[in-house]
Amino acid sequence: MSTSKKIFKANLFLLGVFLYPSCVEMSGQNKIEFNFQDLQSLSYKEIRSKETKLFEDEELGKLDKLVNFHIAKAKAEEDTLEIAHAIYYKYAISDDEKALDYADSIINLTQASTHHNYPTVGYSLKGHYYYHSGRLELALDNYLIALQLAEKKKNIEQQREISLAIAAIRNLTGQHYAALELYNKALNLLKKNKKYKREHYSDYIVLLYNLSLTQLRLKENDSARIYAAQGIEITRNDDRNFKDFVLLDAQINYYEDNLQTANDTLEKYVSSLEGTSKAIKLYYLGKIQDQLGNTEKAIEYFEKIDSIVNYTQDGFPEIKDVYHHLILHTIQQNNKEKQIDYIDKLVYYDSVLSSGQERILNKSTLALDIPLLKQQKLKLQNQLKAKRRYKLLAGFLGGITILSGLHFYTRNRKMKRRLRILMEEEPKKKPVSKKTLDFSLAIPEDIKNDLILKLDNFENSNRYLDKVLDLPTLANELHTNTSYLSLVINYYKKKSFPNYLKELRISYAIQELKINLELTKYSNQGLAELFGFKTGESFSKAFLKETGVYPSRFIAELKARKAGGLEI
C-alpha cells in the first residue's frame, strides 16, 4: 500500500470513530480485559467503547467475538441502528470483498434513518474500499453520494472528511489545484480548534502530507518543503509516519537536484516498503541514477518496478515514463521480444490511466465545480466589460490569421530545403512576442506573465506527450481558466492550443528520431504512441504540417545519411 494510501486509511477510519467520540478510550491505557459471559449487563455505549479500544489495540480476535455479540443483542432487541454500528467493525477488520457486503448492509439497514451519520457512513466505507483497490472512479461515485447525504443532513464533520477523500482522488488524477483548495479549506477548519495538533493529530498529519505532495506536483518546491518539515517535526516520536515524511522530503530533494541526498534517504528506507509505494520510490531511484549517467543501474530499478506492477496490477502516473525508459533500452539492446512486451504495457497503462482520469475529471467537474460556477456566473457576467469582450475576440481572430500565414508558409517550402533544415537545425525556442498593446486589456499583467513562465516550464517537461491532454486539463494544472490560457497561447505562441501541442510533439519526435535511429524501425502507429498521438495517421499529418515532409521521407533520409556515413 502506498504512503499516501496508508495515511489516507488512518484518516478514513475517522468516518466511523467520530460517531462515538465520548466512548473512545485513550490508547495509552491498559488493554481491555473482560469476560464475555458478563456482556449482557453492558449498555450499547459501553460495548461500542470496548470495540473501539480493541480495534486500536489490534486485538481483532476479541473484537470479532464482541461484534458478533453486539449484532446478536441488537437483532434480538430489533435495534437497526445498533446493528449498523456493529457491522462497521465487521467492515473494519475485513481484508477482502466481504467488506463491500458489510458496507452495503449498513446502507440497506439505515437507508431511511434520520440519524445524522447514516446511511452516509455506508457509502463512505464503499468509497474507502474502492479507493484502496485502485478503482478510483467507483470510489468517487460513492464519495459523491456520501457528500450529498452529509450536506443534506448538515453534518459538517462528515462533509470535511468526505471532501478530503475526494481531494485525494482528484490529486491522484491530476486535478492538483482543485485538491489543493480542498486541503487548505480543511486545514483552516481544523485550526479553529486551538488544540488541533493533539486532538486531531491524524487529520493534521494527513493534511500536511497531502499539502506537501500536492505542492510538489505543482512544482512549488519551497511550499512542499515547508509542509514536509512540519510533518517531520510533529512525527518524530511516530516512526511509521515519520518515515513517510522523510521519504517525501527525499522526493523534494530530487526535484531540487539534491540527487545524492535524495538517493541516500530512498536507499535507506526503500527495502521496508512494498507494492505501489515501493515502486514509486524505486522510480525516483531510477531517475536519479539516469541523471547521474548510471544507465544500467537505472534500468535495474525500472525492471524491478515492472515486476512489482506485474504483480499488483496497480498502475501509477510515473509508470508510463518507466516504460519509455525500458523501451528505449530494449531498442539499444535489439531485444525485440522485450520491446514488444513493454510497448504493450505502455499502451495498456496509458489507456487505463488516461480514460480513468478523464471520467473522474468529468464526474468531479459536473458534481462539484459546475454548481459552484453557476453560483458565480451572474456576478462574473456583471463584471465583464463590453470592451474587454471585443478585445478577446480580436486576440482570437489575430491568432487565427497568424496560423493561416504559418500554414501557407510551411506548405510552400521546398522538400529538399526542409529536409536539410530538419537535419542540421538544433531545436530553437521561438522568442516571445513583446507586443502588449490591446492584449493587456484582456488579461491582467501579473496573470499574463505568470502564465508565460508556466508555459515555459511546461515546454521543458514531457507533459505534452500525454495524448489525452486537453485545454481544460492543462488550465487546471496551471491554475488558470481556459479563456486566459487559450489567449496567451494564441497571442504569444501564435497558434491554437491543438497546434501548439502538435508543434511540441513533432519537435520532440524529430530530435528523438535523430538521436535514436532504432526508432526509425517503428511503424507510424508505434511512433504515434511514443510521441503523444492517438493514431499513426494523425502523427503523419501533423509531421507533414509542421515540417513540409512526411515522416516516412524524413526517416528515409536519416537511413540514407547513416548508410553514407554522414553526420546526422
Give the predicted TM-score (pTM) of the model: 0.55
Q: How far apart are CA 532 and CA 538, in angstroms?
A: 10
Say whether pLDDT at 115 is over 90: yes
Pick from 156, 217, 218, 214: nearest CA to 183 = 214
Say whether pLDDT at 393 is over 60: no
Contact criterion met (CB below 8 Å) for 47 and 88: no
H-assigned helices in 115-199:
120-132, 136-152, 156-172, 176-190, 196-199
H-assigned helices in 218-335:
221-234, 239-255, 259-269, 275-291, 295-312, 319-333
CATH T-level fold of 387-563 = Arc Repressor Mutant, subunit A (1.10.10)
Q: pLDDT confidence of 378, banded at 50, 70, 90?
A: very low
Q: How far apart are CA 554 and CA 543, in angstroms?
A: 10
Say whether pLDDT at 516 is over 70: yes
The per-residue pLDDT of the chain, averaged, comes to: 78
Is residue 236 classed exposed, middle or buried when 0-12, 13-18 and 19+ CB atoms within 10 A define those classes? exposed
Say whether pLDDT at 383 is over 50: no
Q: What is the tens place of the pLDDT at every residue in 55-79?
A: 888 888 888 999 999 999 999 999 9
| Residue 545: how many other CB atoms lie within 10 Å | 16
Q: pLDDT confidence of 397, banded at 50, 70, 90?
A: very low
Assigned C-alpha cell, 568: 546526422
Q: How far apart are CA 179 and CA 172, in angstroms?
A: 9
Q: pLDDT confidence of 24, banded at 50, 70, 90?
A: very low
Q: pLDDT confidence of 420, banded at 50, 70, 90?
A: low
**Most confident segment among 36-40, 49-53, 85-89, 214-218:** 85-89
Query: Among residues of the chain, what percentage have pLDDT more than 70?
Result: 76
Q: What is the mean pLDDT of residues 81-96?
A: 89
Mean pLDDT lowest for which of 301-315, 360-374, 414-428, 458-472? Answer: 360-374
Pick from 186, 195, 188, 191: nearest CA to 165 = 186
Helix (H) or strand (E) holding 206: helix 201-217
Query: Among residues of the chain, what percentage have pLDDT more than 90?
Result: 32
Assigned C-alpha cell, 114: 434520520
Say whether pLDDT at 173 is over 50: yes
**Most confident segment among 10-14, 57-61, 500-504:** 500-504
Q: What is the tens place of the pLDDT at every residue in 203-230?
A: 899 899 989 998 888 888 899 999 999 9
Say whether pLDDT at 362 is over 80: no
Domain boundaries along the sequence of the chain: 387-563
Q: What is the tens place of the pLDDT at every residue in 262-274?
A: 999 999 999 999 9
Q: What is the tens place of the pLDDT at every residue in 314-327?
A: 778 788 889 888 98
Q: What is the tens place of the pLDDT at every residue in 540-566?
A: 889 988 888 888 888 888 888 877 776
Length, in residues, of the chain: 568
Contact criterion met (CB below 8 Å) for 91 and 69: no
Q: How far apart are CA 426 and CA 367, in angstroms?
A: 47
